[in-house]
Amino acid sequence: MHLTDRQARIVEVARMTGRVLVEDLATQFSVTPQTIRKDLNDLCEADVLNRIHGGATFPRSIENMRYEARRQIAAVEKQAIGEAAAALIPDGASLFINIGTTTEAVGEALAAHKDLMVITNNINVANRLRVVDDIEVVIAGGVVRQSDGGIVGEAAVDFIRQFKVDYAVIGASAIDHDGALLDYDFREVKVAQAIIANARHVILVADSTKFERTAPVRIAQISQVHTFITDACQSELIRDLCHQTNVALIETATADAATHASSFV
């Protein structure tokens, strides 16, 4: 689903407040309630929002939204996170990139790099970078999920274990208050764990909406990554965990994020 400017703004309001009402939105955007109802119906059919009487709510439960809908959430923030992560990776490096809309933003930002070896279980990343002359793309084998083009399963895990790379770029569907990185699919988690175990420097990329969600399967603890890049970390518990475990915290919403990164390594 391609979101109109108004629909994208509605989603952002819902993300910030948790709930939007038809009458309020009609007033805010100077349109009729019927127009807003159509916007909300479209967003709910795409699983971006959940319909309620008189409005809609932003998903905060364990349900996983459809891939195209997830790409639209915090798209600007994901782009900034992707650029910040790419800035940490030098030319000539080898790296893993796993499944996720934020990790795909990193892949997009890496397109200007030279002499990279990118190993991925993300078909979308592979398809974007395969046309870049100076980047060698190696793709994992295994079961391809129809929902998002992710390659999962034991074959993908065994493939990842053949490598030892300089960097890993991983995402998470949710980040718990105790620093647990969580996801929905245990098969995907197995691949992510193999990626973490076989990289010298692990970069976690996740926008701030991941603090508001939950998921049932544990990937790892935040202490197992070296750098955490997000648009904004409003959780003091996570900040403290990063400080205590020497995880570099980079917030892209902070002016001159590279200068103000909280680096403890």
With cut-offs at 50, 70 and 90, classify the pLDDT of residue 265.
Answer: very low
What CA–CA distance (Å, rounded) separates 217 from 222?
14
Query: Is residue 5 scored above 80 in pLDDT?
Result: yes
- Each residue's pLDDT tens digit, 247-261: 999 999 874 444 344
In the DSSP assignment, the letter for residue 168 is E
Query: Is residue 149 scored above 90 in pLDDT?
Result: no
Contacts of 181 (CB under 8 A, 6+ apart): 172, 174, 175, 204, 218, 219, 220, 221, 222, 225
What CA–CA distance (Å, rounded) separates 63 from 86?
30
* pTM of the full structure: 0.74
At the topology level, CATH places domain 5-58 in Arc Repressor Mutant, subunit A (1.10.10)
Query: What is the percent of the chain where pLDDT is above 70?
Result: 90
Domain residue limits, the chain: 5-58, 73-260
- Which architecture, in CATH terms, is 73-260? 3-Layer(aba) Sandwich (3.40)
Query: What is the arithmetic mean of pLDDT over 160-179?
Result: 95
Q: What is the 3-state secondary structure (H, E, C) of 196-237?
A: HHCEEEEEEECCHHHHHCCCCEEEEEHHHCCEEEECCCCCHH
- Each residue's pLDDT tens digit, 26-71: 999 999 999 999 999 998 887 788 889 999 988 765 445 566 666 6
Residue identified by tokens 């995402």 is 171
pLDDT score for 260: 41
Query: Is residue 122 scored above 90 in pLDDT?
Result: yes
